[in-house]
Amino acid sequence: MRADIVIGMQWGDEGKGKVVDYLASMYSSVVRYNGGPNAGHTVIADGQSFTFHHIPSGALMRKKLFIAPGMLINPEIFREEIESLKKVVPEFSLKIDIRTSLITPAEVELDKKIEELKGAASIGTTLRGIGPAYSSKALRISPRVSDVLSGKFDASIYKKLYNIEFNFTEWMEEAKETLSNYAFDVREELLRSIENGESILFESAQGTLLDPIYGTYPYVTSSNTTASYAFVSSGIPFKYAGKIIGVLKAYTTRVGKGPMPTEMSENLANFIRESGKEYGATTGRPRRIGWLDLPALRYAKEINGVDELFITKLDVLSGLKELKVALSYSINGKEVERFPPPEDLELVQPVYQSLEPIPKLESGDFSHIVKNGWVSAPFQMKKYIDFIEKNLKTRVSYVSLGAEREMTVKVD
């Protein structure tokens, strides 16, 4: 009777896919609850690599998989994802809530148009139609899974308003073919399984700082990325909330535009980008790189009520000549520890503390740490993790030292 939630504490790409795959063994079901195919969650296990866009990252662990209706589905992308997954996992249990809203070719087109019209002020979206599709849902004009199943959907206003040419009837038929085997009342099933004592893991997409309310608006995504949305989206009462697991990368990345106080010089960024393979899993765009940002993380901790931390990609920091962390910000000469409102965020100067750099380790050294436990990690690594733990006043449970599932070590 537990519904734990994995959320991202930065601007997405914290490694939630790997974390969810790793933790999935402790749960019976994994539920994705926000965003759509803008997400790219990569899992590397048993010599295979898979990037999920809609499907929960518990798929390789053969868990029961659910898509809650606060998500969006693009049926064409979903179909391709299913076909690729079948090659890796021939049989899986996946259920999509019938209330889930769909992304049509019109919204994909609109996303592009809006970005073009914004020009220099564009967001740098993934061009997956996310903003327009959540808008169509708010306007109450776009189809949901149940509409394509029944075939009864009046698209006249939709067509008139967007005036974007595509064969709607054909699109609806194809969507029906793709989705009908997976359409269920997910809310009801999840509630029953919780009542029967089963445990559930909610998987968020994107990160807290991309939340449309609490993120760096307008440079945000269009669905809520925080823990509370798991309940709004799934229809599960929040009294069933378990613990909140905050995922953070050992440094910061951001893809797309918008403020990023700890962004580092391109020389150093380049090194980390290459060693950490920091390119968008959905769009292939190079990610912007920065030092760890504690004011931003404290804010993310507060908003989500994070109970424990899962820190990823610590291995990437090994061998860097310097290691810095932003402890606070300075705004017009005044030091603040809090994450400021968006209008001040462009003005902040990070106040850094330098820590002892982590020595250069080879892949064998990381495997050695995983095998022999956290006690065997170099002291500089332990100090870095202790520093984060103390400053965020939150326990670190796991540290990831490589992309593969087994490269994870429990911190005691």
| Nearest to Mg ion of 32, 95 (CB atom) | 32
The residue within the footprint of ligand IMP, chosen from 131, 246, 261, 350 (CB under 6 A), is: 131
Amino acid occupying residue 370: V
Shortest Å distance, C-beta 368 to ligand IMP: 32
Shortest Å distance, C-beta 410 to Mg ion: 24
Phi, psi of 361 (to 5 degrees): -115, 150
Cβ-closest position to ligand IMP:
256
User: Does 9 help bind Mg ion (rule: CB under 5 A)?
Assistant: no
* Segment interacting with ligand IMP (CB under 6 A) among 123-131, 160-168, 230-238, 244-252: 123-131
Amino acid occupying residue 249: K
Q: How many amino acids of this chain bind ligand IMP (CB under 6 A)?
A: 20
Query: What is the phi-psi region of residue 288: left when phi exceeds 0, alpha when psi lies from -120 to 50, beta otherwise?
Result: beta
Site for ligand IMP in 22-51 (CB under 6 A): 38-40
* Segment interacting with Mg ion (CB under 5 A) among 9-17, 236-244, 289-297, 343-351: 9-17
Shortest Å distance, C-beta 53 to ligand IMP: 9
Shortest Å distance, C-beta 31 to Mg ion: 18
What single-letter DSSP state applies at residue 406?
T
The residue within the footprint of ligand IMP, chosen from 94, 102, 179, 205 (CB under 6 A), is: 205
User: Does 255 help bind ligand IMP (rule: CB under 6 A)?
Assistant: yes
Q: Strand pairing partners for 241?
A: 3
The residue within the footprint of ligand IMP, chosen from 12, 70, 246, 402 (CB under 6 A), is: 12
CA distance 102 to 385: 41
| Nearest to Mg ion of 246, 350 (CB atom) | 246
| Nearest to ligand IMP of 210, 294 (CB atom) | 210
CA 368, 371, 377, 381 dihedral sign is positive
| Nearest to ligand IMP of 38, 57 (CB atom) | 38
Q: Which of 41, 53, 111, 293 is catalytic?
A: 41
Q: Among 312, 286, 306, 280, which Cα is nearest to 393's?
A: 306
User: Does 221 help bind ligand IMP (rule: CB under 6 A)?
Assistant: yes
User: Does 281 help bind Mg ion (rule: CB under 5 A)?
Assistant: yes
Contact call for residues 236 and 227 (beta carbons, < 8 A):
no
Write out the H or E segment, with its range, that includes residue 111.
Answer: helix 105-118
How do strand 323-331 and strand 334-336 relate by DSSP bridges? antiparallel
Peptide bond into 69 cis (omega under 30): no
Shortest Å distance, C-beta 45 to Mg ion: 17
User: Does 183 help bind ligand IMP (rule: CB under 6 A)?
Assistant: no
User: Does 81 help bind Mg ion (rule: CB under 5 A)?
Assistant: no
Instruction: Output the DSSP codes for 229-281.
Output: HHHHHH---GGGEEEEEEEEESSEEE-SSS--TTB--HHHHHHHHHHTT-B-T
User: Does 211 help bind Mg ion (rule: CB under 5 A)?
Assistant: no
Contacts of 265 (CB under 8 A, 6+ apart): none
| Whether residue 41 lies in the annotated active site | yes
Count the Cβ atoms, other than its own, within 10 Å of residue 93: 12
CA distance 67 to 97: 6
CA distance 141 to 16: 32
The residue within the footprint of ligand IMP, chosen from 29, 34, 222, 400 (CB under 6 A), is: 222
The residue within the footprint of ligand IMP, chosen from 206, 226, 312, 328 (CB under 6 A), is: 206
User: Does 13 help bind Mg ion (rule: CB under 5 A)?
Assistant: yes
User: Does 193 help bind ligand IMP (rule: CB under 6 A)?
Assistant: no
CA distance 213 to 241: 21
Contacts of 128 (CB under 8 A, 6+ apart): 36, 37, 38, 74, 77, 103, 108, 111, 282
User: Does 278 help bind Mg ion (rule: CB under 5 A)?
Assistant: no
Binding site partner of 123, from Mg ion, ligand IMP, none, Cβ cut-off 5-8 A by kind: ligand IMP
User: Does 172 help bind Mg ion (rule: CB under 5 A)?
Assistant: no
Tell me which residue has tokens 């931390």.
309
The residue within the footprint of ligand IMP, chosen from 130, 292, 392, 409 (CB under 6 A), is: 130
Residues within the interface to Mg ion (CB under 5 A): 13, 40, 281
Residues within the interface to ligand IMP (CB under 6 A): 12-13, 38-40, 123-126, 128, 130-131, 205-206, 210, 219, 221-222, 255-256
Please list the active-site residues: 13, 41
